[in-house]
């Protein structure tokens, strides 16, 4: 929805006046896309409830509900709520004196329709679910064999009187908004001074971008639906009811349990044979082209080792490469920085338009520049997805080129 539906809806708005027929066809395509996604989502939740959850239950892991808890278990969860959850909650009422707050993309919230005792006027209250907390809380239990977890939204609702005192709660539901990655107000590439400036501005504006979907679970009161539709400027068809709690989109704590029989064996990639035989990756490559197949062939023992050796080799004069994505701790970035600090000519094309990694790539580009790596910020109207690295090495009185193409 963030990528495809957002982009198609932005296209519909741009061409609606100039090409109404194409806009109509695009709208029909978007609707069929949404219907297909809803169908697939329904099947995935059906598999979850009818297959995976019963199998987890048999293995001694139960995702429970408040209704299933004993008095002692509720008492234990009260202590957890008071000490670990309640201090992080902030109910935000929306009325004439308090405008609707900005809701971040994919952030889970609880919605309440409330009214004061003896009053008829309804108000909407939003409680943002803290992202620093696990989505599933283990239920304190004396039974060591059976492990129970309750989702964070249900835990909060168990003690909602603590955060909403002296009001009548008519309806509660969980919801999250999905925003488009396309910014309607962004500058056209030719108007921007440079690509770095353009992408930084696009990331900043993304939190205000159009909402393309609202997913909810629970009792969405008709008044709340109309209220959200008006305040968030969405259409009725943008609402999608999820058959299970939204917390099931992130089953974190149960997955982290160390139960070997429930886990796949850790996959271990192999060092490619040519690199296993020779201590030097450059020497191995000089004997002939080498084909590596990731993840079966080790990336660290081939590509990363190749770049690290090039960065340390005094005979290497130049390294040129393209960078599409890099992890939060990247040996590739470290090798490029090390090579530049060793006095080599290092040029790196960093693709700033790698979807959902734009901000990280900007940070990596700045770090590389600080290490005196020459940075090229992609091409305005193209996306560089190729993975290429070229190493130039002086061997005798000649220059020899080594390359990695992915």
Nearest partner of 325 among 368, 362, 296, 357, judged by Cα: 357
- Cα gap 183→15, rounded to integer Å: 16
Q: Are strands 388-395 and 316-323 parallel, antiparallel or unpaired?
A: antiparallel
Whether the CB-CB separation of 156 and 70 falls below 8 Å is answered with no
Strand order in the sheet with 61-64: 61-64, 147-151, 136-138
Cβ atoms 299, 269 nearer than 8 A: yes
Provide the terminal-to-terminal Cα distance of the chain, rounded to the nearest Å.
Answer: 29
H-only helix segments in 48-174: 53-58, 71-80, 152-158, 160-163
3-state helix, strand, coil in the chain (%, to 5): 40, 25, 35
In angstroms, the Cα distances linking 340 to 314, 318, 337 are 12, 9, 5
Active site residues: 385
Whether the Cβ atoms of residue 45 and residue 244 lie closer than 8 Å to each other: yes
Cα atoms in the Cβ-side hemisphere of radius 13 Å centred on 147? 14
Residues 6+ apart with CB under 8 A from 362: 196, 199, 200, 203, 352
Q: Pick from 354, 92, 359: which is nearest to 206 by CA?
A: 359
Dihedral, CA atoms, 175, 181, 186, 190, nearest 10 degrees? 180
Q: How far apart are CA 122 and CA 209, in angstroms?
A: 28
Give the position of tokens 């639906």.
Answer: 225
């Amino acid at each position: 929805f963030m990528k495809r539906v957002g982009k198609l809806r932005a296209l519909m708005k741009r061409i609606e006046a100039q090409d109404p027929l194409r806009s109509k066809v695009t709208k029909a395509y978007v609707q069929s896309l949404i219907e297909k996604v809803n169908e697939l989502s329904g099947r995935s939740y059906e598999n979850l409830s009818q297959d995976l959850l019963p199998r987890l239950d048999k293995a001694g892991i139960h995702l429970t509900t408040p209704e299933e808890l004993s008095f002692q278990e509720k008492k234990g969860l009260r202590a957890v709520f008071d000490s670990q959850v309640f201090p992080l909650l902030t109910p935000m009422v929306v009325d004439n004196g308090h405008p609707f707050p900005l809701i971040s993309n994919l952030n889970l919230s609880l919605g309440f329709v409330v009214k004061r005792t003896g009053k008829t006027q309804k108000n909407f209250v939003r409680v943002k679910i803290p992202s620093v907390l696990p989505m599933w809380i283990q239920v304190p239990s004396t039974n060591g064999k059976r492990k129970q977890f309750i989702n964070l939204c249900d835990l909060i609702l168990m003690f909602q009187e603590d955060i909403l005192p002296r009001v009548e709660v008519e309806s509660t539901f969980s919801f999250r908004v999905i925003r488009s990655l396309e910014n309607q107000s962004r500058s056209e590439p030719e108007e921007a001074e440079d690509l770095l400036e353009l992408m930084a501005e696009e990331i900043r504006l993304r939190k205000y971008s159009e909402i393309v979907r609202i997913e909810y679970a629970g009792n969405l009161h008709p008044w709340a639906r109309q209220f959200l539709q008006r305040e968030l400027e969405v259409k009725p068809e943008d609402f999608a009811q999820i058959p299970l709690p939204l917390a099931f989109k992130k089953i974190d704590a149960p997955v982290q349990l160390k139960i070997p029989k429930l886990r796949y064996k850790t996959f271990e990639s192999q060092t490619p044979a040519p690199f296993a035989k020779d201590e030097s990756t450059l020497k191995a490559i000089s004997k002939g082209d080498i084909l590596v197949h990731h993840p079966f062939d080790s990336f660290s023992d081939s590509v990363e080792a190749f770049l690290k050796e090039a960065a340390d080799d005094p005979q290497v004069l130049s390294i040129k490469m393209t960078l599409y994505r890099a992890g939060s701790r990247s040996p590739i970035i470290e090798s490029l920085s090390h090579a530049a600090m060793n006095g080599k000519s290092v040029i790196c094309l960093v693709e700033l338009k790698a979807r959902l990694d734009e901000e990280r790539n900007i940070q990596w580009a700045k770090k590389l520049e600080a290490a005196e790596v020459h940075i090229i910020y992609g091409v305005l109207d193209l996306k560089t997805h190729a993975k290429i690295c070229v190493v130039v090495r002086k061997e005798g009185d000649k220059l020899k080129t080594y390359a990695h193409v992915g």
